[in-house]
Amino acid sequence: MSRSEFRKHGKETVDYIADYLETIHKRRVVPAIEPGYLKASNSRDKNFMCMLFDLIPSEAPQRPESWETVIDDFERLIMPGVTHWQHPRFHAYFPAGNSFPSILADMISDALGCVGFSWAACPAMTELELIMLDWFGKMIGLPKEFLPLTEGSKGGGVIQSSASECNFVSLLAARFEVMKELRQRFPFVEEGLLLSKLIAYCSKEAHSSVEKACMIGMVKLRILETDSRFRLRGDTLRNAIQEDRNLGLIPFFVSTTLGTTSCCSFDVLSEIGPVCQQNELWLHVDAAYAGSSFICPEFRYLMSGIEYAMSFNTNPNKFLLVNFDCSTMWVKDRFKLTQALVVDPLYLQHSWMDKSIDYRHWGIPLSRRFRSLKLWFVIRMYGIEGLQSYIREHCRLAKKMEALLAADSKFEICNDVFLGLVCFRMRGSDDLNQQLLTRLNSSGRLHMVPASLNDRFVIRFCVCAENAMDDDILHAYDIINQFAQHILHENAK
């Protein structure tokens, strides 16, 4: 593609994106296709999709193809297999952040094509990331010990590509710290034996990435019960630690959640924190979705006890209109994080190392995208007030959905609705609820996903679209109500 063709097709692509987002509501929210739908080998089947489309051939082209044929195939072949996460009827998972300033920032970042693993590799990337982590940390009210630019602070912040990575590197930092101490205390004990004694904790509502982190990190994980409101409590942790010490194990890490994936519950940090402090355990706080809501002071009570944490993460790419990927993470002691991750070959060293930080020591990959750019664009172009309004509106709309469902005797609400997530179920069996969700999803008119709470099947309704409105909530409730009535009618026969 020549530069002049890039100008032309680039502008067309921006128009395509704007048109797509403007007319997205006319599409099915989830695609009506089956696994393998794109493969040309399927074209021998006489199914509807294959008769309709020339599918993707089994070999890559030898000769260049034109932009027009590629973009045409995108609309023809790819779009029918797309789940539209920005659709006003998409209520699954958590929001996938998206906004025009963020899209534009990512375009520029792609054009710069920098790989900012060290300060010298692209100074602006490191400098802006530091300032953004300082801005955003202040915006959500983190204690100043976490902020990278506070005078004398040992704290620091970094953008990782996912909350899963944040959970994992926190665990690695905690593991390194405890192993350092154990090696000193027991210099003649084999390291593998010490490692086999380590035990981490989380609640049964913690995200599965915590379990994965422990699996990869080769440490035991004890999954603890929550209270009736799906929160991990201090006493539960204290008792578990005591039991495990009695068995000769070494507790070292607790991963807590503010805003659990299943039901947006909040572990009680103000109880858990002192237990971690007394027992010298690393307290990590995963607030992947809920963390951004703390830019609104009225939600900060949900993070009470945060001062006990050693590390904290939240994803602006969930609840702050920033496109994937952008997962912000702070630590109270940056040296405790980097000591677990430093390797320093000559070819990555540079002459500014004593005056700067190199983010290659803060995570797993070496190469890093210019992710702070989109955070900067979004914060500046919405302003803190604009972002607060967006979050408050989502929370108000979730309350509206909660009220509609609660007023309908067919349904029951299954979680405390603090932010944008409502968990509900039809009064009746799990099977009835499973039927309801399957039918809703396959209708293409609404998309939601399930969760299990107290071993019961519940349906999660999350407010996701940036400009969600009252009408969207009423519409979603109407669809749910229609399908539920239909199922009840069928079952009554």
Stretch of 15-23, 77-85, 281-289, 471-479 contacting ligand PLP, by CB under 6 A? 281-289
Shortest Cβ 311–ligand PLP spacing (Å):
13
Q: Is 209 in the site for ligand PLP (CB under 6 A)?
A: yes
Amino acid at 181: E
Shortest Cβ 315–ligand PLP spacing (Å):
5
Among residues 182 and 214, whose Cβ is nearest to ligand PLP? Answer: 214
Q: Which of 257, 314, 328, 338 binds ligand PLP (CB under 6 A)?
A: 257
Shortest Cβ 406–ligand PLP spacing (Å):
24
Q: How far apart are CA 232 and CA 212, in angstroms?
A: 19
Q: Which of 315, 338, 372, 388 binds ligand PLP (CB under 6 A)?
A: 315
Residues 6+ positions from 389 with CB-CB distance below 8 Å: none
Among residues 266 and 457, whose Cβ is nearest to ligand PLP? Answer: 266
Q: How far is CA 197 from CA 32, 193, 244, 432, 492, in A?
A: 50, 7, 10, 45, 56
Contact 77, 38 (CB under 8 A): yes
Contact 142, 153 (CB under 8 A): no
For 254, the token pair is 């607790």
Q: Is 207 in the site for ligand PLP (CB under 6 A)?
A: yes
Residues 77-96 interacting with ligand PLP (rule: CB under 6 A): 94
Specify the pairing of strand 421-426 against strand 411-413. antiparallel
Shortest Cβ 94–ligand PLP spacing (Å):
5
Residues 324-343 interacting with ligand PLP (rule: CB under 6 A): 327
Shortest Cβ 446–ligand PLP spacing (Å):
20
Shortest Cβ 490–ligand PLP spacing (Å):
34
Among residues 163 and 422, whose Cβ is nearest to ligand PLP? Answer: 163
Shortest Cβ 130–ligand PLP spacing (Å):
22
Rg (CA), the chain: 25
> 3-state DSSP call for residue 254?
strand
Among residues 92 and 241, whose Cβ is nearest to ligand PLP? Answer: 92
For 129, the token pair is 């990331």
Contact 167, 284 (CB under 8 A): yes
Among residues 109 and 257, whose Cβ is nearest to ligand PLP? Answer: 257
Residues 146-185 interacting with ligand PLP (rule: CB under 6 A): 162-164
The CA-to-CA distance between both ends of the chain, in Å, stands at 63
Shortest Cβ 313–ligand PLP spacing (Å):
8
Cα–Cα nearest to 29, from 460, 441, 444, 449: 444
Residues in the chain: 493
Among residues 98 and 260, whose Cβ is nearest to ligand PLP? Answer: 260
Shortest Cβ 476–ligand PLP spacing (Å):
20
Among residues 260 and 435, whose Cβ is nearest to ligand PLP? Answer: 260
Q: Which of 289, 308, 376, 390 binds ligand PLP (CB under 6 A)?
A: 289
Contact 478, 472 (CB under 8 A): no
Q: How far apart are CA 352 and CA 455, in angstroms?
A: 55
For 389, the token pair is 């309004």
Query: In DSSP terms, which residues pair with 329 in a beta bridge?
Result: 158, 313
Residues that bind ligand PLP (CB under 6 A): 94, 162-164, 207, 209, 257, 260-261, 286, 288-289, 315, 327
